[in-house]
Amino acid sequence: MLLAAKGAHQSSHSLRVEPAFSRSLDYLVGKGLAHRAIRSNRLTFELTSSGSDAAQSLASSPTLFLDEQAFLRTAAKALTETLVNTILRGRSPSQ
Protein backbone atom coordinates (compact mmCIF):
# COMPACT_ATOMS: atom_id res chain seq x y z
CA MET A 1 0.00 0.00 0.00
CA LEU A 2 1.61 3.28 0.94
CA LEU A 3 4.02 4.41 3.57
CA ALA A 4 4.31 8.07 4.54
CA ALA A 5 7.04 9.56 6.69
CA LYS A 6 5.37 10.08 10.04
CA GLY A 7 5.08 13.73 11.03
CA ALA A 8 6.39 14.98 7.68
CA HIS A 9 4.75 17.77 5.78
CA GLN A 10 2.75 16.58 2.81
CA SER A 11 5.27 17.91 0.30
CA SER A 12 8.01 15.82 1.90
CA HIS A 13 6.22 12.45 2.15
CA SER A 14 8.20 9.45 1.10
CA LEU A 15 5.86 7.15 -0.82
CA ARG A 16 5.95 3.56 -1.81
CA VAL A 17 2.82 2.45 -3.63
CA GLU A 18 1.87 -1.12 -4.26
CA PRO A 19 1.57 -1.48 -8.05
CA ALA A 20 -1.69 -3.40 -7.67
CA PHE A 21 -3.41 -0.54 -5.80
CA SER A 22 -5.34 0.87 -8.77
CA ARG A 23 -6.00 -2.65 -10.11
CA SER A 24 -7.54 -3.46 -6.72
CA LEU A 25 -9.89 -0.50 -7.09
CA ASP A 26 -10.81 -1.70 -10.59
CA TYR A 27 -11.49 -5.17 -9.18
CA LEU A 28 -13.78 -3.76 -6.47
CA VAL A 29 -15.72 -1.83 -9.10
CA GLY A 30 -15.89 -4.85 -11.42
CA LYS A 31 -17.23 -7.07 -8.64
CA GLY A 32 -19.87 -4.51 -7.68
CA LEU A 33 -18.33 -3.77 -4.29
CA ALA A 34 -17.57 -0.13 -5.15
CA HIS A 35 -18.37 2.40 -7.83
CA ARG A 36 -16.64 5.41 -9.29
CA ALA A 37 -18.29 8.78 -9.03
CA ILE A 38 -17.43 12.38 -9.78
CA ARG A 39 -17.83 14.71 -6.80
CA SER A 40 -16.82 18.37 -7.07
CA ASN A 41 -15.00 17.58 -10.32
CA ARG A 42 -12.97 14.82 -8.64
CA LEU A 43 -12.97 11.07 -9.14
CA THR A 44 -14.13 9.26 -6.03
CA PHE A 45 -14.64 5.61 -5.11
CA GLU A 46 -17.57 4.69 -2.90
CA LEU A 47 -18.54 1.33 -1.47
CA THR A 48 -21.84 -0.10 -2.64
CA SER A 49 -24.17 -1.69 -0.10
CA SER A 50 -22.59 -5.06 -0.98
CA GLY A 51 -19.14 -3.55 -0.44
CA SER A 52 -20.18 -2.11 2.92
CA ASP A 53 -21.58 -5.48 3.98
CA ALA A 54 -18.35 -7.23 2.96
CA ALA A 55 -16.23 -4.66 4.79
CA GLN A 56 -18.34 -5.01 7.94
CA SER A 57 -18.01 -8.80 7.81
CA LEU A 58 -14.24 -8.58 7.49
CA ALA A 59 -13.89 -5.90 10.17
CA SER A 60 -16.02 -7.80 12.67
CA SER A 61 -14.18 -11.09 12.22
CA PRO A 62 -12.06 -11.99 15.25
CA THR A 63 -9.63 -13.98 13.09
CA LEU A 64 -9.35 -12.41 9.60
CA PHE A 65 -6.87 -9.75 8.52
CA LEU A 66 -5.86 -8.78 12.06
CA ASP A 67 -2.45 -7.38 11.03
CA GLU A 68 -3.98 -5.51 8.09
CA GLN A 69 -6.70 -4.00 10.27
CA ALA A 70 -4.12 -2.80 12.80
CA PHE A 71 -2.02 -1.27 10.01
CA LEU A 72 -5.00 0.51 8.47
CA ARG A 73 -6.08 1.94 11.83
CA THR A 74 -2.62 3.49 12.13
CA ALA A 75 -2.14 4.48 8.48
CA ALA A 76 -5.59 6.06 8.18
CA LYS A 77 -4.50 8.87 10.50
CA ALA A 78 -1.85 9.98 7.97
CA LEU A 79 -4.01 9.70 4.85
CA THR A 80 -5.44 12.82 3.28
CA GLU A 81 -7.61 13.18 0.21
CA THR A 82 -4.80 15.03 -1.57
CA LEU A 83 -2.32 12.25 -0.77
CA VAL A 84 -4.68 9.53 -2.04
CA ASN A 85 -5.36 11.51 -5.23
CA THR A 86 -1.61 11.86 -5.76
CA ILE A 87 -1.15 8.11 -5.33
CA LEU A 88 -3.91 7.37 -7.81
CA ARG A 89 -2.26 9.66 -10.35
CA GLY A 90 1.08 7.88 -9.84
CA ARG A 91 3.17 10.92 -8.89
CA SER A 92 4.99 11.96 -5.78
CA PRO A 93 3.24 14.74 -3.80
CA SER A 94 6.06 17.17 -4.52
CA GLN A 95 5.43 17.04 -8.30
The ranges of the chain with pLDDT < 70 are: 1-17, 90-95
pLDDT value at residue 78 = 79
pLDDT value at residue 92 = 53
Residues 6-33 have pLDDT tens digits of: 444 444 555 565 778 888 989 999 999 9
pLDDT value at residue 15 = 54
Rounded Cα distance between 95 and 89, Å, is: 11
Rounded Cα distance between 34 and 9, Å, is: 31
C-alpha count within 13 angstroms, C-beta hemisphere, residue 78: 18
Rounded Cα distance between 23 and 26, Å, is: 5
pLDDT value at residue 79 = 78
Task: Go through the domains of the chain in sequence order and give each one's CATH number.
Answer: 10-89 (1.10.10)
